[in-house]
Structures are given as C-alpha cells and as structure tokens.
Chain A
Amino acid sequence: NAGVTQTPKFQVLKTGQSMTLQCAQDMNHEYMSWYRQDPGMGLRLIHYSVGAGITDQGEVPNGYNVSRSTTEDFPLRLLSAAPSQTSVYFCASSLMSSGRGETQYFGPGTRLLVL
C-alpha cells in the first residue's frame, strides 16, 4: 500500500490565487482529515470527512473548501489564497469501525507559501 499520498510537495502562490491540494489513500479508510501545522501551534484541524459525501468543519475552516466524492480522495481547495494560509498542510486517514481507538495515518505534507 502507498498509504496516504499528497501532492504537490511544495507550492508558491500569489495572494488571491486559488489551488487544490490533493490527498489520496489506498487503505479503504472511512475517515479523512486536513490539518495545518504552524510553528508553536501544533496541528489544527481544518476539515474532516467520515465517508464519501460527508464533510464537516474543524477548528480553522475559513478560506478552505473540501469535498469527498470517493472513499479514496479528499482534496482541499483554497479559494483565494492569503499570506495567513502560508503553512504546512497534512492529510490524515483512519478506519472508523472500531471507534475512537483507530490510529490516524498521515501523509508527507504539502508546504505552501503565499506571497
């Protein structure tokens, strides 16, 4: 299994541009999520999904959209990039069948710089 994959690895955007961060997993996990990591702030949840067609907001959803049309893919869209969205973005996935004890597995991350 490839696990959780993310593309691109690095991206530079200008303020106001839009883009989509891709995330895919091949483990048939129901749960998928997006976090952003900023220095000294740990990881903060942006959006999550508990299955195809179901998404919900996390702690810091403003400026981001998600959709989940398949079990495998969970793209994150930046509608109009702002310098405050400069961060490292991580996608994660897990099973949900055993409840809260399931381990989340993380992708390698996308480093985004907004100028």
Chain B
Amino acid sequence: AQSVAQPEDQVNVAEGNPLTVKCTYSVSGNPYLFWYVQYPNRGLQFLLKYITGDNLVKGSYGFEAEFNKSQTSFHLKKPSALVSDSALYFCAVRPGGSQGNLIFGKGTKLSVKP
C-alpha cells in the first residue's frame, strides 16, 4: 500500500537551533513530495515540493527539504528555528498514476521554545 509516515508526533526545539521534521514514504514509481504547514485554526499552507532535479529543495520561510531516494525520505529542515515556526507540519506524496490526489502523513507538531 502507498503511504507516508511521519514517525514523530511532536518535535521540540529551542529557538536558534536547527530543526528537522522527518518524513518517509512508500509509493510506486517516482514520488512527487510536498510539505505543508498548518497554524492553529487555519488551512494548510504550501511550503515546498520535490518533483525532480536537485535533491535539496528550498521553500518558504527559510525551510528546505532533502530528498533521499535510497532511504525513501524527504525530511524538512531549517538551520535556525523561530518561535513563530511552531505549527503542525504535514508531509504528502502524489503517487504515480494519481489524478492529483495526495496521500498525507499524520502530521508532526513542532514546538519552538524561546
């Protein structure tokens, strides 16, 4: 079955420290991968995506993600966390043959403390 896993329900980071939110996937064919962020009582906002090309993808608000085909991972990273980065983060994949549908992970709550 095609799926996305976010192994950590919550990640706690001190402000100014680097952060990583993990995502692994299992899909057939070449994966198209996405990261979204959700602030409290808001909709999902697009951060970045990997389609093809460079394995390191840069996105909004200083976030980046590294695609690793051998480890089937697409971890979200930021060199220096801000308190305002505290939110719920979702990894999603669009499998081969999909008509546009995304498969989402369960989400990871990021908490950045001053």
Contacts and interface: CB of A to CB of B under 8 A. Distances in A.
Interface of A: 4, 31, 33, 35, 40-45, 48, 50, 56, 58, 90, 92, 94, 96, 100-109
Contacts of B43: 4, 90, 106-109
* Size bracket, chain B contacts: 20 to 34
Interface in B1-15: 9
Given A41-B106, A42-B107, A109-B43, A104 B100 contact: yes
Given A33-B100, A100-B98, A100-B100, 13 more contacts: A40-B9, A41-B106, A42-B90, A43-B102, A44-B104, A45-B102, A48-B101, A100-B51, A102-B100, A105-B46, A106-B36, A108-B42, A108-B43
A106 B94 contact: no
Contacts of A109: 42-43
A106 B38 CA distance: 10
Q: Which secondary structure dominates where chain B touches chain A?
A: loop
B100 A43 contact: no
B20 to A, nearest CB: 19
Nearest to A30: B100
A94 B44 CA distance: 14
Contact of A100 (B46, B94, B106): B94
